[in-house]
Amino acid sequence: MPHHDVFPTPDTVHWGHLDARRRPVIEIDPGDTVTIHSVSGSPSETSRNPAHSIRPELQAIHAALAPLPGPHILTGPIHVRGAKPGDALRVEILDVRLRDDWGFNIIRTGKGALLHDFTRDETLHLTIDRKAGTITTPWGMVMPARPFFGIMATAPKLEHGRLTSIIPGYFGGNMDNRELTAGSILYLPVSVEGALFSAGDGHASQGDGEVCLTAVETGLSGTLKIDVISGAQLAMPYAETANHLITMAFDADLQEAMQEALRLAIQMIVERTHLTSVQAYSLCSMAADVRITQVVNVKKGVHTMIPKALIAQGVRDV
């Protein structure tokens, strides 16, 4: 199938929002592969980074565009021919590679999980060794990189207008789910013709929770195979890895997000196996992992990890 590359320029990115009215930067057919190249960082974050080089395309974006209303620079949108409302995108993440030799992490007063505990803004710059796949902190610790896009999204419904890139939702968006790295598959509802898929908010590494506000923010190159599932009628995104099915939910109340992610997990188990909802509820308690995805994006995220091996034991007869 054909392959496409989309590089970040002032004409191929949108900064801080998702909007069904945006014109696509490229059109692809279902089954095509596309490598999305991303950049991250505002002028204030990059200007405090004297030790590393800033890509000219990021400087050009700074000169031509401004964040509105969120902080994330997103590459796209990509029009997928034939995708229509009620369908779903199947986004297979074939590869995600580090693109820059630096990343940053920020603390902002009044934000993050401990919004009253830290009262001074901080910006940390970290060194990335792309060949070794490692990240070095300013205090000398070395950690392995595990790159993934914090944001992968279809366009929101036209009637919802322009939405901030900060808050995740039914369209995906700022999910910040660290499981969505190479080898995983993401399923996203389609709300508009062509789906209008965008990605960005590159993370070199992130812990569950993303507690201080950001991960190791950086530029990435991600190769994706994008297919269309007709008539899927998804209400929310879900994902799978080699070993797990993953349901996701978002709510300003962490308890509500947890309960919805769990309800979706029970529903998924019932739909795919011969188990009743009562049995699926028990199975989740015995074998599934309910994890905090992030607590910093206004709507907090929770995801439930369901072992595929157990689902395989209870698959419905066709």
Report all structural domains of the chain as residue ranges with CATH numbers, in order of start: 3-229 (2.60.120.580), 243-313 (3.10.28.20)
Hey, what are 49's tokens? 């980074």
CA dihedral 236, 307, 201, 130 (to 10 degrees): -160
What pLDDT does 256 receive? 98
Could you read off the pLDDT of 54-69 as tens digits, one per residue? Answer: 899 999 999 999 999 9
Q: CA-CA distance, 138 to 18, in Å (whole number)? A: 34
> Under 8 Å CB-to-CB from 253, ≥6 apart: which residues?
300
Evaluate if residue 50 carries a pLDDT over 70.
Answer: no
Q: What's the pTM value of the predicted model, to 2 decimals?
A: 0.97
Q: Strand locations in 86-177, DSSP E?
A: 88-98, 102-107, 122-129, 134-136, 142-144, 148-153, 163-164, 172-174
> What's the whole-number mean pLDDT along residues 230-253?
98
> What's the whole-number mean pLDDT along residues 137-154?
98
